[in-house]
A = this chain, B = another copy of it.
C-alpha cells in the first residue's frame, strides 16, 4: 500500500524493528543470504509480506539499513573527530575511531562492509548508490588537499591516499570482526594504522615542525 511512499523521518516502530533484524541477518549471513524470509524470522514476524509492506523492495530496505548504520557510525566518529586539533590529529581520530567501532558496534559495521562489498541486484548493478561509496573518500580527499595547502601534509596524490586509507581501514575491520584470532587488540591496531598513515602523509614533519 504505502511502502515508503512518504518517508517518515522517525521510523515507525515496525520499520526500525525490521531494519534492526536486517542488520543482524546481513552481519551474520551476508547480504545475499539475507532473504526476506530470514529477516522476518529474526524480527519475529510471521510473514515476509510485512517487509514488502514497509519497504518498496530489497533495494529500499538495504538503503534504509545503510543509512541507519552510516548515521550511527557518523555520530560515533564525529564526536571524536571534532575534538581533535589540527588536520593530522583529525586524520588520526578518523582512522582510530573508525576501527574502534569494531568493539563498540561490531554487528552494524560488519553488515555495512558486506553491503558495500557485495550488494548487487539481479542485473549485477550495485545496490547502493555509488555516491555513498565515493562520498567517504571524497571527504577525506578534500581534507587531505586542504591540509597539503596548509602545509600540514607532504606531497602525495590525495585521491589515491584517500582510497588507501579507507581500503586499509576496511580490511583491518574485516579481519577484526571476522576472526577470534586475537593477534592484537583493536585499539592497538587502530593506533598502528593511524601512525602508518601519518607517516605516509608526511604529517610528522608538518606537525612537529
Contact = CB atoms under 8 A, between A and B. Distances in A.
Interface of A: 1-2, 28-33, 37, 40, 46-48, 114, 117-118, 120, 122-124, 156-157, 159-161, 163-172, 175, 183-184, 188-189, 192-193, 195-197, 199-200, 202
Contacts of A32: 32, 118, 120
A195 B202 CA distance: 12
Given A29-B124, A164-B164, A199-B200, 9 more contacts: A1-B48, A31-B118, A33-B123, A117-B118, A159-B184, A164-B168, A168-B171, A170-B171, A196-B200
Nearest to A202: B199
Counting from the closest, the 6 A-B pairs by CB-CB distance are A167-B171, A29-B124, A118-B118, A164-B168, A117-B117, A32-B32
A166 B87 CA distance: 26
A159 B171 contact: no
Contact of A163 (B37, B161, B171): B171
Given A120-B29, A200-B199, A172 B167 contact: yes
Contacts of A165: 168
State the majority secondary structure of interface residues on A: helix
24 contacts: A1-B47, A30-B118, A32-B32, A32-B120, A33-B123, A33-B124, A114-B118, A117-B117, A117-B118, A156-B196, A157-B184, A157-B188, A160-B184, A161-B192, A161-B196, A163-B175, A164-B168, A164-B171, A167-B167, A167-B169, A170-B171, A171-B171, A196-B200, A199-B200
A163 B157 CA distance: 21
Contacts of A171: 163-164, 166-168, 170-171
A62 to B, nearest CB: 13
Contact of A183 (B37, B159, B164): B159
A57 to B, nearest CB: 15
Nearest to A189: B160
A157 to B, nearest CB: 4
